[in-house]
Amino acid sequence: MPTNRSVTRSISIRATPDAVLDLVGDAHALPRWAPGFAQSVRADGEHWIVDTGAGEARVDLRVSRERGTVDIVSVDQPARGVFTRVLANGDGCEYLFTQFFPASVPDDAVAAQVEVVESELETVRRLVTPPAT
């Protein structure tokens, strides 16, 4: 039996998988598309320090272009973080975003975080979608 609750959201994007991976796989771009998580980012050796607004988080950004994945995980607790995948879909792609919550997190806190994630996914789509011609 899982000990954490998972929530996955996805969004269809009219852009190439590479365009999405270029954005979400760039640690310096985190404040552009995930400002609720990252107000600023700086390198710390092989890791990243993210100013979350509520403190600093030391994270690994694990990018696999071959698998189409970008995971942003805690250096100290690698099972804690977000796990994302970009899948080709015709002329565009799907961007899937999964986050785990301990069972002790109240439903309203999970719902609030899901709203933030949905806004971030919309921002990713807006930033990578080419203008209509």
| Domains contained in the chain, CATH given | 4-26+61-128 (3.30.530.20)
SS3 117: helix
Tokens for 65, please give them.
């272009």
Distance separating alpha carbons of residues 116 and 73, to the nearest angstrom: 18
pLDDT, position 85: 98
pLDDT band at 3 (very low <50, low <70, confident <90, very high): confident
Each residue's pLDDT tens digit, 10-62: 999 999 999 999 999 999 999 999 998 999 999 999 999 999 999 999 999 99
Confidence of residue 2 (pLDDT cuts 50, 70, 90): low
Beta bridge partners of residue 97, listed in sequence order: 9, 84
